Every structure is written in C-alpha cells, then in structure tokens.
C-alpha cells in the first residue's frame, strides 16, 4: 500500500480509502466486515462513511453503514489502527428530511456527531466533513452555476467553524473537511480560518473520474496552493468505467441495475466515452477499472481515492490499482478522449 498524509497533519492515510456506502443495502453486515478485514490486511487504514449511508438513503437504513463499521471496530479492537472519516448532511431536502431539517445549525452538528459516535462505537472521529453545501449551488451533476435569487441561505461559514471548533476542543472530532463543495465555498472557509483562527478545512471529498474531471478547473488550483487534499469519490462512476454496463455483464445487484433512478452516469455521452476508455484499456492490456483508478491515483492534488465494491473480487481489483503506473503515452490517449468528450457525467 502507498500512503499520504492528511494535509496539515501528521496522520498517515492509505492512498486507497475504503468506501462503504453500499453496506446496509447492497451488502450485509457480514459482507461489510469481510471487506473491512480484507482491506485492512492489504494495508488500508482509511475508512469513509456518513450519517446518510447507505445510499440511496431511506428512513429505515440511514446510519446503518456506520453501525456496521462500529460492530467491526468493537469485534477487532482496531480503532487505534484506522482513520475514520464521516459526514453531516447539508441543506435539507425531502431526500434527507428523515434525518433532520435544520442544516448546519449548531444543534444539527452536535446532534449529528453524538449519534455518529454512538453508531461507530468510538469516542472520536478523525475527519468530519460537511456532506454538501447549504447554499444552492451546482452540485451533484450540475455543470454550471445558475444563481437562484430566491435562495434564503445566509452566510454562516463563521458559525459553522465555531461549532466544529467546540467539538475539536472536546476531543470528539480531530480535523474537518468539505464534500461536494465548490471553489468559492472552499475559499470562504479558508478565509474564516485565516482571519479568525478557526479550524482549517484540510480535505475536500468531490466526485472525480475519467467521466468527470471538473475538479481540474478552479478546485485543482485551490487544492494544490491551499493544501486541501482531494478525497475522490465515484472514481469508477457507479461502476460504469468497469465496462460492465456497456458490455452487458453487470449482474442484478450492480448499482445502476438495482437503482435505475441514479442517472448521473447513465447518459448517452457517458456511454460513448466509456466505450472509448474501455477499448483503450484493452489496447494497453489493463483492466478498465484499474486504468480508471490508476488515473485518479496519479493526480497531484489527490490525498486518497475512495473505492467501493460489493464483493471481494471487485475489492481486490480496485485495491491493486495502487500498484499501477500509467505511461505518458497512455495518459496522452486518455486526454485525447477527454478533449473529444469532456466531462460527460458532471
């Protein structure tokens, strides 16, 4: 395994982070424990979860993923050997109203942390992230920002950091990060940190893959110059980049077959681009999944690549991508495809 540091800390984390959002719906508790055992034995020490998980979220399952991690921690006694990242839900919508409806208010953050610590059966969370912005902005598949004059959100960056600071000082969380954030929001949090001696956002967990390289715009520069490491998610685009949906080999439990309402990676442009990437991987005698993941692993702004799997065969293939270095010739051909079909699945 290869390791990096969480920016501005001495915490070493594996370059591959174990994603968990299928546990509790697509995967049982025993399967989650099996994945944790395998990943841990392969050198992975970084685990990502959220109070929302598993996804798609339902009132019956929300929080179940973290409970599965919690029972594994209790069973193995590995808490001091792993780094755990979790998240608090952002702006309220019907999709998450069953969790709470009060956004990033102080009481919301307090409630979220207390409940997540109980689910995880731990006294602290290493990295606590804001799952998505409260303001209306272009997240989750929206490419361009369109200002909504009816957005009632009020600038509360300072208040949010003050509340997070309380929990850092109380020892309940160690560091804080962002997720699904944009360049303006990231810089506003940094401004509050610098001006008011408040906690620094050290990571940003955003979608990044061969099909969605929008991070390479303004956020890549913010990441490198300000030291906010990318925790890349959806790096296989819900499994699309494995080629199994374009070649018809995806089974009934695969994500897009089981949840057809998840359309972010199902468009025609996405399929055409995927076919080109899959053929390119074959030309270089690399599995499409490992080529896609290795591309992410080699980015200069990456702190860790969050991989997910529903079985051990997938998990092994995904973890092994850390040992692959893509040649300059292959990277050049990847960029040629990107130029002809840029960001088909933002």
Helix (H) or strand (E) holding 221: helix 218-226
Q: Is 324 exposed, middle or buried (0-12, 13-18, 19+ CB in 10 A)?
A: middle
The pLDDT of residue 258: 83
pLDDT in tens, the chain (346 residues): 999 999 999 999 999 999 999 999 999 999 999 999 999 999 999 999 999 999 999 999 999 999 999 999 999 999 999 999 999 998 878 889 999 989 999 999 999 999 999 999 999 999 999 999 999 999 988 889 999 999 989 999 999 999 999 999 999 999 999 999 999 999 999 999 999 999 999 999 999 999 999 999 999 999 999 999 999 999 999 999 999 988 888 887 788 888 877 778 888 999 999 999 999 999 999 999 999 999 999 999 999 999 999 999 999 999 999 999 999 999 999 999 999 999 999 8
The pLDDT of residue 242: 95
The pLDDT of residue 34: 98
Q: Which of 53, 175, 233, 277 is catalytic?
A: 53
Tokens of 341: 């079909």
CB atoms within 10 A of CB 172: 19
The pLDDT of residue 121: 98
Supply the pTM of this predicted model.
0.96
Active site residue 53: yes
The pLDDT of residue 54: 97
Identify the structural domains of the chain with CATH numbers, from first to last.
3-242+290-325 (3.20.20.100)
CB atoms within 10 A of CB 165: 16
The pLDDT of residue 203: 98
Q: How wide is the angle at C-alpha 305 spanned by C-alphas 80 and 141, nearest 5°?
A: 125
């Amino acid at each position: 395994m290869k390791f990096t540091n969480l920016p501005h800390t001495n915490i070493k984390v594996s370059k591959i982070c174990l994603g968990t959002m299928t546990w509790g719906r697509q995967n049982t508790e025993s399967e989650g424990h099996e994945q944790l055992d395998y990943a841990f034995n392969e050198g992975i020490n970084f685990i990502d979860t959220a109070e929302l998980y598993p996804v798609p979220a339902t009132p019956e399952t929300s929080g179940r993923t973290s409970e599965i991690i919690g029972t594994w921690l209790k069973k193995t006694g590995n808490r001091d050997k792993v780094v755990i990242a979790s998240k608090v839900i952002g702006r309220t919508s019907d999709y998450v109203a069953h969790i709470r409806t009060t956004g990033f208010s102080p009481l919301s953050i307090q409630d979220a942390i207390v409940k997540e610590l109980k689910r995880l059966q731990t006294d602290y969370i290493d990295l606590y992230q804001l799952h998505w912005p409260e303001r209306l902005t272009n997240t989750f598949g929206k490419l361009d920002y369109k200002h909504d004059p009816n957005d009632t959100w009020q600038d509360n960056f300072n208040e949010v950091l003050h509340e997070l600071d309380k929990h850092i000082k109380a020892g309940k969380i160690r560091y804080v990060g962002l997720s699904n954030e944009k360049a303006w929001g990231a810089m506003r949090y940094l401004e509050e940190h610098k001006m008011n001696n408040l906690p620094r956002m050290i990571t940003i967990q955003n979608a990044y893959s061969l099909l969605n390289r929008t991070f390479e715009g303004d956020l890549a520069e913010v990441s490198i110059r300000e030291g906010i490491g990318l925790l890349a998610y959806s790096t296989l685009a819900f499994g699309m980049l494995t080629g199994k949906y374009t070649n018809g080999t995806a089974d009934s439990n695969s994500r897009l077959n089981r949840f057809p309402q998840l359309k972010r990676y199902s468009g025609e442009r996405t399929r055409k681009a995927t076919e080109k990437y899959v053929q390119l991987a074959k030309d270089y005698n690399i599995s499409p999944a490992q080529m896609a993941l290795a591309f992410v692993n080699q980015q200069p702004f990456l702190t860790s690549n969050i991989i997910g799997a529903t079985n051990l065969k997938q998990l092994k293939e995904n973890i092994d991508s850390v040992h692959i270095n893509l040649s300059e010739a292959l990277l050049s051909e990847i960029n040629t495809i990107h130029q002809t079909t840029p960001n088909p699945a933002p």
